[in-house]
Amino acid sequence: MKRIVILIAVLAFTVSMTAQKEDAIAKYFSSYADSEDYTKVTISSKMFELFTHIEGTNEEEQEMLETISGLQGMRMVTASNPDEADSRYKSALKSLGSEFEVLMEVEDDEENITIFIKEESGMINELVIIGCGDEFFILSLLGDIDLKQVAKLSRTIQIDGMEHLQNIDEE
Amino acid sequence: MGLNHHNIHEMLEKFWAGETSLADEQALKEFFAYNTPPEGSEEMAAYFALINDQPEVSESFDEKILAHIEESQTRVFNMRTFWRVTAAVASIFLVASIFIFTDNQPTEITQSPEVKEAFEQTKSALFMISTQLNEGQDHASKLVKFHDAQAIIKTTEQ
């Protein structure tokens, strides 16, 4: 009986540890959670599990669902005050831990975007985007992330759009 | 009292009446063991012969019986443990089946507005990431083209 109790306790501990896997926002930007200046969106791992039961109605959704199937969580914080967006962006870049590597930086007149990734055993298991323009935002994606698959998403939608344009011409 | 063919019948009557002592019964056993049974008492001779053939109860008999009883009680305890384990396993299966049942009912859940809203949020986020990745690639490819163009111009000038 003691063994069973210990086994159940170990299982519960394992489940709770899995559930408590921290993303970058929880780890480095937890102070934002208490601030009313930020809008917070969290999509839990359970919700991502539910997404796997959604049936895609078109190619775009099928691609999207395929990409989502490897994900375990998403969290985003945004602050809409444009005057502070730039300073928040610079501060956030400094706060992120060294385990994240810069994948890409895009800076132009309208916005600044930096994409970070965290790899383990050659696999990307977290992607963080910090950006500012009209608003400041941080977005974290947890799970097995296939960058090629993600990049393909917007192209699929663009191709779909082109097909519709072709149909209009034909009409 | 020494038994012989004269008083054996009297002793047997006492035996049947339940009035004999242990010593009397021992005397009866010995009589039938070493003497020809008198007429009419052959059945009693067979009875006492049978008793004489029975092994003596050893002094450890009680201990053995008690040990056997304790062993039986242990078996009862083990059965209790078995039922406890069975109940625990059944509980685990019950909890697991609830999860499985929940997982087998996704269609209704995925139709809920909360899930749809979350899905739309995720789609928007992924689309934004995808767009940024492609924009970055486009910028990079433009830089590569610019670099190639510069190289061509330099080569032409030379």
The predicted-structure confidence for B66-120, as pLDDT tens digits, reads as follows 887 777 666 555 667 777 778 888 888 777 776 666 555 556 666 778 888 888 8
Q: Where are the beta strands (DSSP E) in chain A?
A: 39-43, 71-79, 101-107, 112-120, 123-132, 136-143
User: What does the alpha-carbon distance between residue A151 and residue A107 come to, in Å, rounded to a whole number?
Assistant: 19
ipTM exceeding 0.85, yes/no: no
Q: Residue A125 above 60 pLDDT?
A: yes
Q: Residue A123 above 50 pLDDT?
A: yes
Q: Residue A12 above 60 pLDDT?
A: no
pTM, two decimals, is: 0.54
Q: Residue A113 above 50 pLDDT?
A: yes
Q: What distance in Å separates residue B85's CA from the closest CA in chain A? A: 7
Q: What distance in Å separates residue A160's CA from the closest CA in chain B? A: 14
Q: Which tens digit of pLDDT belongs to each residue from A94-106?
A: 988 889 999 988 8
Short-list A33, A60, A54, A44, CA closest to A143: A44
Confirm if A143 and A71 have CB atoms less than 8 A apart.
yes
A139·B122 Cβ contact <8 A: no
Q: What percentage of chain A exceeds 70 in pLDDT?
A: 78
Q: By the CB < 8 Å criterion, does A3 face chain B?
A: no
Q: Binning pLDDT at 50, 70 and 90, where does residue A140 land?
A: very high
User: What does the alpha-carbon distance between residue A48 and residue A71 come to, in Å, rounded to a whole number?
Assistant: 7
Structure-model confidence comparison of residues A66 and A2, the more confident one:
A66
pLDDT score at B105: 59
The Cα-based distances of A120 to A69, A125, A144, B97 in angstroms read: 19, 7, 10, 34
pLDDT score at A163: 41
B121·A64 Cβ contact <8 A: no
Closest CB to A43: pick one of B118, B128, B132.
B118
Q: Residue A117 above 90 pLDDT?
A: yes
Q: Residue A16 above 60 pLDDT?
A: no
Confirm if A151 and B127 have CB atoms less than 8 A apart.
no
pLDDT score at B57: 66
Instruction: Count the alpha carbons within 13 Å of A18 in the hemisphere toward its beta carbon.
Output: 10
The Cα-based distances of A45 to A147, B45, B94 in angstroms read: 20, 91, 23
pLDDT score at B77: 56
- Cβ-based contacts of B135 with chain A (< 8 Å): 106
